[in-house]
Structure 1
Amino acid sequence: MTDKTLDVLAIGNAIVDVIADADDAFLAGQSLDKGSMRLIDEGEAVRLYGLMNAGREVSGGSAGNTAAGLAALGCSAAFIGQVASDELGDIYKHDIEAEGVRFLVPARGDVGATARCLILVTPDAQRTMNTFLGAAQMLEAKDVDLAAVASAKILYLEGYLWDPAQPRAAMKAAIDAARAAGTRVAFTLSDSFCISRHRDDFLALIDAGRIDILFANEAEITELAGERAFEAAVAAVAARVPLLVVTRSAKGAVAIAGDERASVPAEPIARLVDTTGAGDLFAAGFLAGQAKGKSLETSLRLGAIAAAEVIQHYGARPEADLKALAAGLL
């Protein structure tokens, strides 16, 4: 087995988030489903951006956010994702490296524009995401650093990246390398729309033993299991994967590994501002615990702490000192 010098290697969409306030009337006027994520083309991205309130640009992307959270917790993290040779690509690379994450894929000039996600945040802190994938969907299998995969304790993959064919091939190559090197594979379902499009693929990965840690929220686990009741869905999926982690927003989170089950409540917060990145940062905390050999309960607590920090400000990257917030747990 290769020496594990890297805690987590994340693969995902390299996206710059543009975050702006909106009200329910604006969402209704644009026929947007509050709290959802939809894929849009470049023309729609330009149109919607022109209608939005003034926005704030923050580097994002689900797995990238998780990698940033891991680095903030003191873990060694690296990220694989494709950006273009443009202004947003430069912003993305600068931001993630400034946060202490190794960025392993060079920018390219032949992949269109760097991806961006237009995020509309309503007064109830729900975020409605409109994603133009651009260069992110051009990630190729040859861009996967197989040595980095082998050196990682955990490989973390986002379901959002499963949609385009090229990144899907890259993720499959990474899983193959991880299985050969004894690297644990963690996978997040990302969104119910991903499951509706790729449920059979995701279940095939699980049943083939290619996923060690599966992350889901309440809506996603019921969608994947085809069960309306939460506990029935959890039981059905937990029987098929070594470690299942399910977040439940204000109701906390649970983790099941065989006969072991742990749960934690949500961390108290002063004010809910923006739920963007809550699941990403929860995954960061949980994976940090797992990479450091902590128990399920401690890993869940770390996830809850990281998620609570990020929902109290705009943007999906941590702003407070996560190591201080997690003192004594890592």
Structure 2
Amino acid sequence: MSQTGLDVVGVGNAIVDVLAKADDAFLSAHDITRGGMMLIDEAQAKEIYAAMGAAIEISGGSAANTTACVASFGGAAGFVGKVADDTLGEIFRHDLRALGVEFETAPLDKGPATGRCLVNVTPDAQRSMSTFLGAAGHVSVADIDPEQIGRSAITFFEGYLFEGEVPRKAFYKAAEIARSAGRRTALTLSDAGCVERQFAAFNDFIDQHIDILLANDVEAAALFGSDDLDVIAEKAREKCALTAVTLSEKGSLLIPRDGEVVRIDAVNPPQLEDTTGAGDAYAAGLLFGLARGLDLAQAGALGSLAASEIISHFGARPSVSLKDMAGNAGLI
């Protein structure tokens, strides 16, 4: 990229993650969907938070996590997301900018508070998320800066945010700008529930505007109507120029429209602590690699490396330099 260009700009939910350890009994007691993400209102957020164990608070949100990881790789990243003009919003803004991510979206001056995601992590490292979107769901067309989108190699959309009618219009606007500028677009499906609830709208957006699709195997099965990886690959080729399907400890598949499927091995972490943000980190490595012109195998390897770092500790942001890790591994 040029000195003023961006490798990736993410459009997504600006969320503060609140992470705590929990057991299955806690999930059942609060009707929390195990391993998934459910939306809650502010009253529910207060109730669950009050019952959670000792927690840590970290600025998060799926696409924001991805841009933070891109910056850790030494890339140039930007973020579009909405926080309120409150304490949590200022914390979120400071945290992201401190990592070197370009974040200029104006805060919401009237309306709900900054969003937060209550992440309960069970002993098997599975994360179950209860999300109060708050201000995060108020991203609008007015928040899309054509200049920022136009100088980003890849504009990356977060499926969670697609569920809102107003943010969805912002997605279409940003995608149109990217296409007009000759840039690429990417979308993460985020959650199988998102796919099921917005099935027709997701397909329409992907068919019209997405070059790179990212999903785990469950999300891909929901979109393509099959859990057979050969069927998924066949249908993915008809859908996008490139589809990435992550398979947890089995690695991932990169499915180009033309050419053979590229199998990427997982990188085993020194210990498995928390899977929160693994997909976000994988997306960062993959998209950073593609933005820098690496081939699919190299870009996918960066994704696996980033995911392994994230799941080795609590929280969804890197605890060490991904650039250094990739350099030591001979990947960049």
Query: What is the CA-CA distance between 1:108 and the residue it aligns to?
Result: 2.4
* Structure 2 residue 289 is matched with structure 1 residue 266: no
- 1:44 maps to 44
* Structure 2 residue 178 is matched with structure 1 residue 184: no
Q: Please give the TM-score of this superposition, normalised by the length of structure 2.
A: 0.96
For the 8 Å contact 1:81–1:105, the answer to whether it is kept is yes
Query: What is the CA-CA distance between 1:33 and the residue it aligns to?
Result: 2.3
Query: What is the CA-CA distance between 1:4 and the residue it aligns to?
Result: 7.5
Query: What is the CA-CA distance between 1:268 and the residue it aligns to?
Result: 1.6
* Structure 2 residue 254 is matched with structure 1 residue 252: no
> Aligned equivalents of 2:296 and 2:270: distance in 1?
26
> Aligned equivalents of 1:30 and 1:297: distance in 2?
42
- SS of match in other structure, 1:326: helix
> Aligned equivalents of 1:109 and 1:274: distance in 2?
34
> Aligned equivalents of 1:227 and 1:323: distance in 2?
37
- 2:222 maps to 223
* Structure 2 residue 153 is matched with structure 1 residue 153: yes
- 2:319 maps to 319
> Aligned equivalents of 1:226 and 1:270: distance in 2?
35
For the 8 Å contact 2:218–2:227, the answer to whether it is kept is no
Query: What is the CA-CA distance between 1:318 and the residue it aligns to?
Result: 0.6
- SS of match in other structure, 1:314: coil
* Letter matched to residue 98 of structure 1: A
Query: What is the CA-CA distance between 1:6 and the residue it aligns to?
Result: 1.3
* Structure 2 residue 285 is matched with structure 1 residue 290: no
> Aligned equivalents of 1:322 and 1:198: distance in 2?
34
Q: Please give the TM-score of this superposition, normalised by the length of structure 1.
A: 0.97
For the 8 Å contact 1:141–1:170, the answer to whether it is kept is yes
Query: What is the CA-CA distance between 1:270 and the residue it aligns to?
Result: 1.4
| Percent identity between the two aligned chains | 45
- 1:329 maps to 331
The runs of 4+ residues in structure 1 deviating greater than 6 Å are none
> Aligned equivalents of 1:13 and 1:207: distance in 2?
23
For the 8 Å contact 2:10–2:78, the answer to whether it is kept is yes
- 1:237 maps to 236
> Aligned equivalents of 1:247 and 1:111: distance in 2?
37
> Aligned equivalents of 2:281 and 2:55: distance in 1?
22
Runs of 5+ consecutive residues of structure 2 not aligned to the other structure = none
For the 8 Å contact 1:4–1:153, the answer to whether it is kept is no
- SS of match in other structure, 1:239: helix
- SS of match in other structure, 1:273: coil
- SS of match in other structure, 2:154: strand
Query: What is the CA-CA distance between 1:31 and the residue it aligns to?
Result: 2.3
Equivalences, count: 328
- 1:199 maps to 199
For the 8 Å contact 1:4–1:150, the answer to whether it is kept is no
For the 8 Å contact 1:253–1:263, the answer to whether it is kept is yes
For the 8 Å contact 1:12–1:158, the answer to whether it is kept is yes
- 1:17 maps to 17
Query: What is the CA-CA distance between 1:167 and the residue it aligns to?
Result: 0.9
> Aligned equivalents of 2:280 and 2:19: distance in 1?
17
> Aligned equivalents of 1:125 and 1:131: distance in 2?
19
- SS of match in other structure, 2:261: strand
* Letter matched to residue 251 of structure 2: G
Deviations 1:115-172 (A, max 9, x none): 0000000010000000000001111101111111011110000100011111111111
- SS of match in other structure, 2:58: strand
Greater alpha carbon shift after TM alignment, 222-231 vs 266-275: 222-231
- 2:85 maps to 85
> Aligned equivalents of 2:41 and 2:250: distance in 1?
36
Runs of 5+ consecutive residues of structure 1 not aligned to the other structure = none
For the 8 Å contact 2:86–2:114, the answer to whether it is kept is yes
For the 8 Å contact 1:104–1:145, the answer to whether it is kept is no
> Aligned equivalents of 1:230 and 1:255: distance in 2?
11
* Letter matched to residue 252 of structure 2: A
Query: What is the CA-CA distance between 1:3 and the residue it aligns to?
Result: 10
For the 8 Å contact 1:245–1:253, the answer to whether it is kept is yes
> Aligned equivalents of 1:28 and 1:129: distance in 2?
13
- SS of match in other structure, 1:113: coil
